[in-house]
Amino acid sequence: MTEYNAQELLAVVASRELRDDTTVFAGVGVPLLAAALAKQRQAPRLTMVIEGGIIGPEIAPGRLPISTNEMRAAFRATMLPAITDAFLFAQRGFVDVGFMGGAQIDQYGNINTSILGSDYWKPKVRLPGTGGANDIASLCREVIIVTAHEKRRFIPKVDFVTSPGWLAGNGSRRRAGLLFGGVSRVVTTLGTLGFDPATKRMRIEAIHPGATIDAIRENTGFDLLEAPEIVATEPPTPDELQMLRALDPDRRFLG
């Protein structure tokens, strides 16, 4: 069996979520790695959108950008509009999937990348903030969260809602004026989580190789529901791993 680490597993499984003839708003790091891998494999007509105002780039193997505002992110791009126009495309409904991470994620898929602590003005830790994350979560037709599975990240209620998921569930997202979109899945290093169709609470839908339901629960700070059928994730293939490692040979994001 081919050996791989948790970050490689995360990137491969996340890449499988993307489909041909769609558009993905991808952040740097593992989300961009996953999008680039998907484009090389099952989705050659996938269009990537990068926050710095870059539409349809090609990610050259070994030259993975570390910022949304550097020229490596624009290699052979179809368009280089203003950054505001990139978000305008999402507002108009042209972006299918938003790929996001987060410091904290709660049981309704809300994301915090702003502060740790209850006092916004005097936080325990001030995080990088929203950037375009709120726009992505609010405007894309679907959001997929890609993150390591740690108990400190998965908490019952985020300290600050930087990017809205399903808010408090039970139709609260729509009542807040967000008429489409929402978080569909959370791909982690242990499994794939979805959301109950009625309550929008997070639930276990797939278990990755080497993980168990108990391990997922032990690393989550709230009670998870379970889908009617929980499937086993297929492990990364040698071909997937070879392509992924070629994209990040210096292992800046793959660990």
Are 236 and 9 in contact by the 8 Å Cβ rule? The answer is yes
* Residue written as token pair 């938003």: 98
Q: What stretches of the chain adopt beta strand conformation (E)?
A: 23-26, 47-50, 54-55, 97-100, 104-105, 111-112, 115-116, 125-126, 142-146, 183-187, 191-195, 202-207, 225-232
CA dihedral of residues 76, 81, 84, 85 (deg, nearest 10)? -100
Q: Which of 3, 8, 17, 51 is catalytic?
A: 51
3: annotated active-site residue = no
Active site residues: 51
